[in-house]
Chain A
Amino acid sequence: METFLPLLTIFMLAIFVGFEIITKVPPLLHTPLMSGSNAISGITVIGAILSVAVEGRVPTVLGFLALVLATINVVGGFLVTHRMVGMFKKKD
């Protein structure tokens, strides 16, 4: 319980922060929002790195697979979002 409550607090507060910011994202940018949020949810990459570093075959293999998937999300997500948001231009 000592670790659970602080974590739950952070979880709840982050959800509220999320609702506050994301409701302000206009429909115009909803597709980049989805690819961009996928990119940052690739933060699981750090969990994957730690798992690969653990001794034992099973954690290492599972961690390695997770690492590849999460890195695809990070690199693919940020890159494709960059491509998209660069297209939204206003002519002067």
Chain B
Amino acid sequence: MTAVLIDLTYLFASILFIFGIKGLTHPRTAVRGNLLGATGMLLAVVATLADRQVLGAGAQGLGLILGGVLLGAALGAALALKIQMTAMPQMVALLNAFGGGASALIAGAVLAEGGNPTTQTAIATVASGIIGSVTFWGSLVAFDKLQGLLLPDNPVHFPGQQPLNALLGLAAVVLGVWVVSDPGLLNNYGLLVAVGSVMGILLTIPIGGADMPVAIALLNSYSGLAAASTGFVLNNNILIITGSLVGASGLILTRIMCKAMNRSLLNVLMGAIGPDSGTTVGADEVYAGRIKSTSPEEVAVLFDGARRVVIVPGYGMAVAQAQHQIRELASLLESRGTEVEFAIHPVAGRMPGHMNVLLAEADVDYDKLREMDDINPSFPQTDVSLIIGANDIVNPVTRTDPASPIAGMPILDVDKSRTVVVVKRSLSPGFAGIPNPLFAADNTLMLFADGKQAVLDLIAAVKDS
């Protein structure tokens, strides 16, 4: 195949990628969009296999290529088919890691080929190496935190953290300049990747569990930028186009997540929020004598008289794996003529859109999954708001106390509904580590129980009434 034909195929594949993402703008077209993207990828790979360099690689080279593709495909397929929807943040963290890792490795391979790289190629190689290794290790740390393996969910701080980060950044720049001025020294590239790796780890450990949506979105963006810089290394348009699409996507999601928490990106990256920061009001002061506990039977009576019920899921729902029971409860209420909708806060869960996927998996109609800005005006007309596993995203203190660590964060206005029922094990605080005055409000009832069991009890009580 001639080089022109290969490049034209790449162009066509890039267009398919753009249409693929465009398909994701609506659930109706999303399946087709994803298939278009996959088709583009297949075409690009086939065109590459027809490249003169590949055809001339000999039996051993071709065998390695085939082996690598088969191994990667088997691992990828196993991962994609086995993974539980609740673990999707971990899956995306791993994919981010592999994307960054692949870019750093390819840049290293190009450098190792020798030849005389131009300054542009050398600079792009350095960029791929740094961004790629930061993404790889940062994403592995994010994966570890989400999976709850070695590192604590909470932000990790140690003395001298910021100076150390600055020092590493400086080292990366110095090594980068060295690699550009003398690309023949492959060891320097290795050192650069090592520094990038340590940076990736140190930059991610201060980020707490509930801030993971931001971290994952940002690392997603990095993995795209790493791919784009690899495109500059290889003088390859399709890598640049695809990498910048992904980079833009990650940045947009990062911005949306930060806005939904009313925090700056810097504040999130420093892990400046946490259980031990800025507790202005004690829990006793907020809760003492004001908490009203309720029973499933009592809530069933409330549901009986309700015309409109809104269910607010949070990360706790995913932990309790209660989404299927919640769908059952919603269907039951609907069959009795009650209007039921779900209110989804942008940062509910551990990654953008996580709650929607879980509820869609449980067969909830996507029309009933409503975004915050969309559903907030309807809370005053809501008879019962049922909150399951959510805390900070429904804390009205964000409106009233400017000293609160979550001041100004947009919340779901559940307190404006007639009655609020909160399903929760105890009065323990959410990620922000502050008490929630909603639990003590006049129109709030607390249903103390495990999420899944509480919903099962509610279903039984509604059926009995």
Binding site for B on A (CB under 8 A): 1, 3-4, 7, 10-12, 14-15, 17-19, 21-54, 56, 58-60, 62-91
Neighbouring B residues of A53 by C-beta, 8 Å: 51, 53-54, 56-57, 61, 65
B417 at the interface (CB under 8 A from A): no
Neighbouring A residues of B250 by C-beta, 8 Å: 34, 37
Cα(A11)–Cα(B228), bound, Å: 8
A88 to chain B: closest CB distance in Å? 4
B86 to chain A: closest CB distance in Å? 12
Q: Which of A25, A44, A51 has the most chain B CB within a 10 Å cutoff?
A: A44
Evaluate contact between B253 and A30: CB separation under 8 angstroms.
Answer: yes
Closest chain A residue to B110, Cβ basis: A51
| Contact with A29, one of B18, B24, B99, B114 (Cβ below 8 angstroms) | B24
| Contact with B31, one of A37, A54, A86 (Cβ below 8 angstroms) | A86
B195 to chain A: closest CB distance in Å? 18
Evaluate contact between B365 and A90: CB separation under 8 angstroms.
Answer: yes
A72 to chain B: closest CB distance in Å? 4
Cα(A15)–Cα(B365), bound, Å: 33
Evaluate contact between B76 and A28: CB separation under 8 angstroms.
Answer: no
B381 at the interface (CB under 8 A from A): no
Closest chain A residue to B115, Cβ basis: A54
| Contact with A59, one of B77, B110, B233, B361 (Cβ below 8 angstroms) | B110
Neighbouring A residues of B51 by C-beta, 8 Å: 49-50, 53
Evaluate contact between B41 and A39: CB separation under 8 angstroms.
Answer: yes
Of residues 20 through 76 on chain B, the ones whose CB sits less than 8 Å from some CB of chain A are: 20-22, 24-27, 30-31, 33-35, 37-38, 40-41, 44-45, 48-49, 51, 53-54, 56-57, 61, 64-65, 67-69, 71-73, 75-76
Interface of A: prevailing SS: helix
Interface of B: prevailing SS: helix
Neighbouring A residues of B388 by C-beta, 8 Å: none
- With contacts A7-B231, A63-B105 taken as known, whether A40 is within 8 angstroms of B245 at the C-beta atoms is yes
Evaluate contact between A21 and B344: CB separation under 8 angstroms.
Answer: no
Evaluate contact between B223 and A66: CB separation under 8 angstroms.
Answer: no
Evaluate contact between A91 and B365: CB separation under 8 angstroms.
Answer: yes
B230 at the interface (CB under 8 A from A): yes
Closest chain A residue to B92, Cβ basis: A34
Evaluate contact between B53 and A32: CB separation under 8 angstroms.
Answer: no
Evaluate contact between B363 and A67: CB separation under 8 angstroms.
Answer: no
Evaluate contact between B356 and A29: CB separation under 8 angstroms.
Answer: yes
Cα(A47)–Cα(B367), bound, Å: 41
- With contacts A4-B120, A27-B352, A70-B98 taken as known, whether A35 is within 8 angstroms of B31 at the C-beta atoms is no
Evaluate contact between A39 and B38: CB separation under 8 angstroms.
Answer: yes
B451 at the interface (CB under 8 A from A): no
Closest chain B residue to A80, Cβ basis: B80
B180 at the interface (CB under 8 A from A): no
Encode contact with A along B104-125: 1 for CB under 8 Å, 0 otherwise: 0110111011100010100000
Evaluate contact between A67 and B81: CB separation under 8 angstroms.
Answer: no
Closest chain A residue to B224, Cβ basis: A41
Cα(A87)–Cα(B250), bound, Å: 23
Given A56-B113, A66-B102, A72-B79, 13 new contacts (CB under 8 A):
A23-B252, A27-B352, A34-B353, A35-B91, A36-B21, A43-B243, A44-B102, A45-B41, A47-B106, A68-B75, A69-B102, A76-B91, A80-B83
B264 at the interface (CB under 8 A from A): no
Evaluate contact between A89 and B360: CB separation under 8 angstroms.
Answer: yes
Cα(A65)–Cα(B21), bound, Å: 28
Neighbouring A residues of B360 by C-beta, 8 Å: 84, 87-89
Cα(A44)–Cα(B103), bound, Å: 7
Neighbouring A residues of B256 by C-beta, 8 Å: 27, 30
Cα(A19)–Cα(B108), bound, Å: 30
Neighbouring A residues of B237 by C-beta, 8 Å: 7, 10
Encode contact with A along B249-278: 1 for CB under 8 Å, 0 otherwise: 110110010000000000000000000000
Evaluate contact between B353 and A30: CB separation under 8 angstroms.
Answer: yes
Cα(A52)–Cα(B106), bound, Å: 9
- With contacts A3-B120, A52-B68, A76-B77 taken as known, whether A81 is within 8 angstroms of B223 at the C-beta atoms is no
Evaluate contact between B69 and A71: CB separation under 8 angstroms.
Answer: yes
B398 at the interface (CB under 8 A from A): no
Cα(A34)–Cα(B101), bound, Å: 17
Neighbouring B residues of A49 by C-beta, 8 Å: 45, 48-49, 51, 54, 65
